[in-house]
Amino acid sequence: MRLAVFDLDGTLIDSLPDLADSVNSLLRGYGLTEQDDGSVRGMIGDGVAVLVQRALARCGDAAAGIDRAEATKRFMEIYGPRATERSRLFPGVKDALTCMRDEGWRLAVCTNKPVAAAHNILDTFGLSDLLAAVGGGDSFATRKPDPGHLLGTIRMAGGDVSRSVMTGDHANDIRAASGAGARSVFAEWGYGVQAFAEGASACAACMADVPVIAARLVPAVS
């Protein structure tokens, strides 16, 4: 059995519009300066708490006295109900996942996003039925780039790391795969910069390329 594991934000889902709107709603609530989409894009990839911390840090001394844990709670209250208002699947995602499933791959998601939010998004976009497991940022004691997060997701999906491929747009995805001993594909269409591809087994320009690349990295056993 071959297992294909995917990051969520910036890989399967273009979630930047809703994340940026939610960040700015949070900042407005504190009377702080809003951030443009480009700035928020660079904050994504390390989970909600880090996203909020980075957004507040961009506001300098004006945000110094704000409790980060309380701000993270507020952010989730804002983001949760609107997480799929303007977010969209990246082109070719559902077709590529369906193709891989039909070719015998088992599929999973490994994301630093809280698992409840991840399930909500995957349900909304009709991807849940294609997946064997979803490992969220709060599913294990560790999260990406710690390989334990990916290894836990692989176990949840009933896979074996030697027959697994991790696809993602962030350095965290590539580092988690390297540390776990899995192959990896850097998603060039996502939010990451090209430097994040360092150490990847391969790069893909679009989601449609992933089934072919993954099959090359982990060939089927006849």
The β-bridge partners of 30 are none
Active-site choice (7, 9, 14, 173)? 7
**If you search the block for the tokens 């993270």, which residue do you land on?**
72
The β-bridge partners of 5 are 108, 166
Q: Stretch 169-193: mean pLDDT, rounded?
A: 97
Q: Cα separation of 200 and 56, whole Å?
A: 32
Please check the confidence at residue 3 and state whether its pLDDT lies above 80. Answer: yes
7 is catalytic: yes
For every residue of 84-128, DSSP letters joined together read TSS-EEPTTHHHHHHHHHHTTEEEEEE-SS-HHHHHHHHHHTT-G
Please check the confidence at residue 222 and state whether its pLDDT lies above 90. Answer: no
Number of Cβ within 10 Å of residue 195's Cβ equals 7
Q: Stretch 76-86: mean pLDDT, rounded?
A: 95
**Phi-psi map region of 60: left, alpha, beta (phi>0 left; psi -120 to 50 alpha):** left
Quick one: pLDDT band at residue 85, thresholds 50, 70, 90? very high
Please check the confidence at residue 138 and state whether its pLDDT lies above 80. Answer: yes
